[in-house]
Structure 1
Amino acid sequence: MSTMSLAHRPWWPWVRRIAVWGFFGLIAWLLINQARAIDWQEVLDAMRALPASTLLLAGALAAGSFAIYSTYDLLGRYLTRHRLRAASVMGVTFISYAFNLNLGSLVGGVAFRYRLYSRLGLSNDTITRVLGFSMLTNWLGYLVVAGAAFCFWPMVLPDEWKIDNGGLRILGAVLLLLAAAYLVLCAVASGRVFRIHRYLFKVPKLRMALLQLAMSCLNWSLIGGVIWVLLQGQVAYHQVLAVLLVAAVAGVVTHVPAGLGVLEAVFIALLSHQVPQGKLLGVLLVYRGLYYLLPLAVATVAYFVTELRTRRLRTTAR
């Protein structure tokens, strides 16, 4: 029986809902069980022990990451030639990214962009092109940073795992080849248009691809830097970055909003042999506060301010 035929069965929506809620129930159960085994006093002590200078530096790196990500849609603005002000574009990107991190890509990265950009006068086709190019920029940098980390600076795995990094090196090489293939495509087929399902993709110039690569690589590197600074150098930077990159993909695959529990599980699994579990969890909670919750608070205020301004403009226009 094909997937298409299943989708038309009257009971299929209920099966999907039960499966989704069952999955989230399983995640919740695992988190509760894990939480019971944690020494929360140790976690709180680790959070309190972080110096103010460390928090300020980590916060500065987080702000730098958000600033860079907020410029991703400017590349789409250049390609689509729409006339929104750069400040408006960066504001929309910032709001969408903050909600994307906390609520998932469909709500944050997609829904918020469509709502905000459409209210600013962009067509759905233009929004789709801007969004698609921004996503491409983000994952292009991931390919290179993850490829380099896995291939040249393999992770130090726990001794009890009894496995080597051969598989990760191969994966890293594949990721680098994919990124290189994109750059070659931009070098030899700039301006050509390809149809991907219902969408058209115009190959950018090589210099645009290199700009995408530089911006995204810097952004991923800064995100890793936030956690590395909070760990105060207890773990090598490349090790922290590699674990973060694994956690990022794990969060995408599981579809858990904000990667809640997934990020922590990956870091504890891969770094608890180097950092005490309580301290590691404390650092990750502070990281969530700096990189997830604080920007979300700012983005929420910015979103409501934007909505109020839009309504006032519409009322005035009438």
Structure 2
Amino acid sequence: MPEDRTAQSDNTEKTAANNGSSRWISIVGTIASLGILAFSVYVVAQVLATLNYAQVLTAIRATSYGQIAMAIAFGAGSYLALTFYDAIALRHLREMLPYRTAALASFSAYTMSFTLGFPLLTGGATRYAIYSRAGVSAGNIARLVMICSLQFWLGMNVVVGVGLVLHPEHIAAIDQLAVWINVAIGYAVLAAVVAYCIYVGIGPRTFSIRGVSLTLPGFKLTLAQIIASCCDLACASSVLYVLLPQNHGVDFLSFAAIYVVAVTVGAASNVPGGIGPFEATFLKALPGVSAEALLASLLLFRVIYFLGPFLLGLVLIGGHETHVRLRGISGKSSGPDTPSR
């Protein structure tokens, strides 16, 4: 009995310590998010105070139909790559669903979370609405969301690591660090990704988050995750890259790394769509492009990559819900003894 009480006391103390740590992490995260948001507002406000709005409209009109067509094509490529996030996760979880179901859930979830923010709420609810009807348990849907998030960050680390190693001077405009420090960080990031691949390749790795047990994908699926994520990020950054004015003087690899940093800053700010911090990052990182031309490109980017897919996602979700309900009504009206098509 004394031993039981001691064990119970130890567990209580550990639980209290974990709760205290989580609380402090949450507080630090909130302060960091507010700091990023405040700095971004300051940067954007400075630019807007001296902005020539007529030149912004002129820059938008100067964007060719060819640039817009290429941006739409790259956007489609990005969302196509995103569908493999869900497809790979489903394969790992041994959920044998058709690709079209994974594609619908992935596209709808990402269009919601990219535009509205709060990915666990918006994207998670969208995936649950589609996958639960396909017979996937709530636990596996939660695991799928975790795997997709992990996949996204793996690709982000690879792109940033390569960019820091090959073109550290462009990232230096953002983080204000010496070039050699950025190179060292780049190698460290890439080494961490390699170490992770080795770690999951040696044997099954299982951990628990908020009561949900998850076994990490093995070596082959992890490589597939990284390839899909890098393709997604390459296409997504290309959407904005082709919309920039000519002679901007930034190579694509450096730009892709800057794009990933901007996405990370936007995500860390917890602002829906990263609006503000995302733009502020580019305003700091691309001083060679006029603010008017850059904001024109960013506005077109948000319309093509966020607003357009978001509206299409709403249509697809509405069509899916209508189809499910009509099929349910048809099944009921046919009766239990009458075969239905």
TM-score class normalised by the smaller sequence? 0.7 to 0.9
Counterpart CA distance in 2 for 1:258 and 1:184 is 34
Change (3 A) 1:201 1:63: same
Please, which runs of 5 or more residues in structure 2 have no aligned partner? 1-15, 333-341
Displacement of 1:55 after TM fit?
1.1
Tell me which of 227, 252, 268 is aligned to 1:237.
Answer: 252
Task: Name the aligned partner's letter for residue 188 of structure 1.
Answer: I
CA contact (8 A) 1:98 1:108 kept: no
1:136-285 pair list within 5 angstroms: 136-156=150-170, 163-189=177-203, 192-197=204-209, 198-231=211-244, 232=246, 234=248, 235-272=250-287, 274-285=288-299
After superposition, the Cα gap between the structure-2 partners of 1:129 and 1:156, relative to the gap in structure 1 and judged at 3 Å, is: closer
Aligned-residue offset at 1:196: 2.7
In the aligned structure 1, how far is the partner of 2:169 from the partner of 2:251?
10
Preserved CA contact (<8 Å) 1:252 1:259 = yes
% identity of equivalent residues: 25
User: What do residues 153-179 of structure 1 show as CA deviations (whole Å, max 9, x unaligned)?
Assistant: 213378899752233223222221221
Which residue is equivalent to 1:41? 54
Instruction: State whether residues 193 and 200 of structure 1, in contact with CA within 8 Å, keep that contact through their aligned partners in structure 2.
Output: no
3-state SS of 1:195 partner: strand
Q: Which residue of 1 aligns with 2:146?
A: 132
**In structure 1, the residue corresponding to 2:95 is in which secondary structure?**
coil
Amino acid of the residue matched to residue 190 of structure 2? L
Shift in alpha-carbon separation, 1:33–1:315, aligned structure 2, 3 A: farther
Q: Deviations over 1:243-301 (max 9, x none)?
A: 111111101111000011111111001102x1111101111111111111111110011
Q: Secondary structure at the match of 1:116?
A: helix
1:77 CA drift (Å): 1.6
Bigger mean CA offset, 173-182 vs 192-201: 192-201
SS at 1:204's partner residue?
coil
Question: How big is the shift at 1:309?
Answer: 1.7
Write the letter of the residue equivalent to 1:281: L
Give the C-alpha shift of residue 317 in structure 1.
3.6
Q: 1:106 to 1:37 in 2, by over 3 A?
A: farther
Which one scores higher on RCO, CA 8 angstroms, separation ≥ 6? 2
CA distance in 1, matches of 2:174, 2:205: 50
Is the Cα–Cα contact under 8 Å of residues 112 and 310 in structure 2 kept in the other structure?
yes
User: What secondary structure sits across from 2:168 in the alignment?
Assistant: coil
- Residue 170 of structure 2 aligns with an amino acid whose one-letter code is V
TM normalised by structure 1 equals 0.85
Change (3 A) 1:269 1:128: same
CA distance in 2, matches of 1:49, 1:106: 38
The equivalent of 1:107 in structure 2 is 121
Moved more, 230-239 or 209-218: 230-239
* Counterparts of 1:216 and 1:239, CA distance in 2: 17
Q: Which residue of 2 aligns with 1:120?
A: 134
Q: Is the 8 A contact 2:56 2:293 kept in 1?
A: yes
**Comparing 256-265 and 106-115, the one that deviates more:** 106-115
SS in structure 2 of the partner of residue 201 of structure 1: strand
- 1:191-223 per-residue CA deviation (whole Å, 9 max, x = no partner) reads x24223323232433221111111111111112
Whole-Å Cα distance in 1 between the matches of residues 116 and 275 of structure 2? Answer: 10
**1:93 maps to which residue?**
106
Tell me how far apart the structure 2 counterparts of residues 29 and 127 of structure 1 sit (CA, whole Å): 36
Match of 1:53 in 2: 66
Does structure 1 conserve the Cα–Cα contact (< 8 Å) formed by 2:155 and 2:229? yes
Question: Structure 1 residues 75 and 220, CA, compared in 2 at 3 Å: closer, same or farther?
Answer: same
* Matched AA of 1:280: L
Please give the alpha-carbon distance, in whole angstroms, between the structure 2 residues aligned to 1:25 and 1:180: 33
How has the CA–CA distance of structure 1 residues 115 and 268 changed in structure 2, closer, same or farther, with 3 Å as cutoff? same
Contact 2:200 2:217 in 1 (8 A): yes
- Which protein shows a greater Rg? 2
CA distance in 2, matches of 1:69, 1:114: 17
Could you say if the C-alpha distance between residues 121 and 286 of structure 1 is closer, same or farther in structure 2, counting changes exceeding 3 Å?
same
What's the C-alpha RMSD, in Å, of the aligned pairs?
3.1
Gaps of 5+ in 1: 9-14
CA distance in 2, matches of 1:242, 1:25: 21
> What's 2:86 paired with?
73
CA distance in 2, matches of 1:159, 1:123: 46
Partner residue in 1 for 2:319: 305
